[in-house]
Each structure stands twice: as C-alpha cells, then as structure tokens.
Amino acid sequence: MLSEKHIGFIGAGNMAEALIRGLVKPSGVVPQAQIAASDTSNNRLTLIGDTYNIRTYQENKAVIESSEVIILAVKPQVIHAVLQEIAASVDETKLVISIAAGVKIERIQQILPTARVVRTMPNIAALVHAAMTAISAGARATQEDMETASDIFNAVGESVIVEEKLMDAVTGLSGSGPSYIFHIINALADAGVKVGFSREIALKLARQTVFGSAKMAIETNEHPMKLRDMVTSPGGTSITGVYMLERDGVTAALINAVEAATRRSQELGG
C-alpha cells in the first residue's frame, strides 16, 4: 500500500511540490513523516519543509537511505550528474521513478543497473491536481511498482500506462497539450473582445467554457462528436461556428501541432 511507503524526492521544484501536496493534502495518502526531499536550494527546502512538514536534506544520499521510492524530479540537463552521484546508494531494493522529460529508461538503467526504474511524463496541470501522466515500466519494474507509480500520480490527477516508445507522442499530446489549450482560451477571449466584451468577462467566459466542456467529456465518457451534436442544432449558431473551424483548418492545425511536438521531443531525446 502507498500509505506504507517511504517516498523521497531528489529535487524539490514545482512538479515535486505538486506531487508532495497531492500525497499529503487533503487526502493524507502518505504520512508526512514518510516523505523526504533534497534540493540544491536551501530556500526551496525551507519552503517545502515548512509548508508540508516533511523531512528535507541538502544531501541526496540522505533521501535515498530513508526511502523505498525515489522520485527523480530534476531537470534533464543535470540528471546524468545526479545519477552518478547517487549510483552507489541505489540497489535492487529501490524503485526509481523519473519525471525528467526525454530521459529514456535505458539511460537511467545504465548508471543504476540494479534499480527498478519507471519513467513518467506528467503535465503542468499537476499544479492544480488535474494532471495527465503517462507511465512506462523499465525491464526490472514489477506490477507492484507500476501500481505504486500510478497511485502517486493519481494523487494529482489521472494516469495511463503506455509503452516507452510512445513517450514522445505523450509529450506531443498531453505534455505539451496545456499550451495548446491556453492558446485556444486566449483566442476565444480575443474573439469575445472583438464582439464587444471586456477582456475580463471574455476571459471568464472562455475559461469556464473550456473547463465545463472538458468536465462534461470526462464525466459522461461520451464520444466528443456525440457531445458536439448535442450542441449543434440544425441551422443554428454552433454548427455555423463549427463549419468555420473546419473551413479554417483548426482540426488539421491541432493534429499538426501534436505531430510537430512529438518530432521535437524525439530530437531532444536523441
């Protein structure tokens, strides 16, 4: 059970904080005494420690020694140095979960050969407990390890298990996806201003419309085209707007955006 695990975070940035908050507040999935974090910033450690009442350390080794589950929450450009530093302290008893974008399991396993490794790709909505996270298993990871990883990320949203070869596509769709949606919200607000609303009211209308539509799609589990048909009455305003979206290539633009972001993720990952 997750509530019995000791979880350590190497890196205490925004994503680590979102996960810590999800684990300890408000549900109390994991007791605060069982969570530890390390970071290069003393200010960051003080903030995390005081806010969530967890143990903090300047040394990564102290986190590893006190934890069964290690979450690598560091930037991809420093992960090699971090892995080299902790290698001597990590053995087959440790589950290592990476959230470093673009870093393949093989690269981690080369430096931590006996560890059980799981790779994940959460998105920024973890900050509001509405993340979508994809999870991939390394060769040594067990079914229990995958359940542990899923439970951790379900504390800040939803998760899905995918093959690692699809992680770049995950980056293109759900990893980068919030940026597309923010762009759409802004475009809808611009349209609202164009037809006469103040910016404040236009943004409120756009934000709540996107939120409500997503909530309806999730809670009904209906195909989005069926939901769209519920709104688009014959000869009405909605079908007129949908026609313009199709005429101007919005569907193709979104597909192209996901494909381009996927390719870029592949390039960055080498």
Binding residues for NADPH: 60
- Nearby residues of 156 by Cβ (< 8 Å), 6 or more positions away: 18, 19, 21, 22, 122, 126, 129, 130, 131, 133
In b/e form, how buried is each residue of 142-169, taking b as 16+ CB within 10 angstroms? eeebbebbbbbbebbbebeebebeebbb
Are residues 176 and 261 in contact, defined by beta-carbon separation less than 8 angstroms? yes
Of 17, 65, 57, nearest to 40 by C-alpha is 57
Residue set of the binding site: 10-15, 60, 73-76
On whether the CB atoms of residues 22 and 5 are closer than 8 A, the answer is: no
Query: Which residues in 138-211 belong to E strands, given as ranges?
Result: 157-161
Does the CA dihedral 105-111-114-120 come out positive or negative? negative
Could you give the 3-state DSSP secondary structure of residue 90? coil
Question: Which residues belong to the annotated binding site for NADP(+)?
Answer: 10-15, 73-76
Q: Which among 63, 60, 106 is positioned nearest to 81, based on CA atoms?
A: 60
HEC readout, 136-158: EECCCCCHHHHHHHHHHHHCCEE
Report the distance separating Cα 96 and Cα 104, nearest Å: 13
Task: State the burial class of residue 127 (Cβ atoms within 10 Å of its Cβ: 0-12, 13-18, 19+).
Answer: middle
Q: What angle do CA 153, 154, 159 make, to 5 degrees?
A: 80
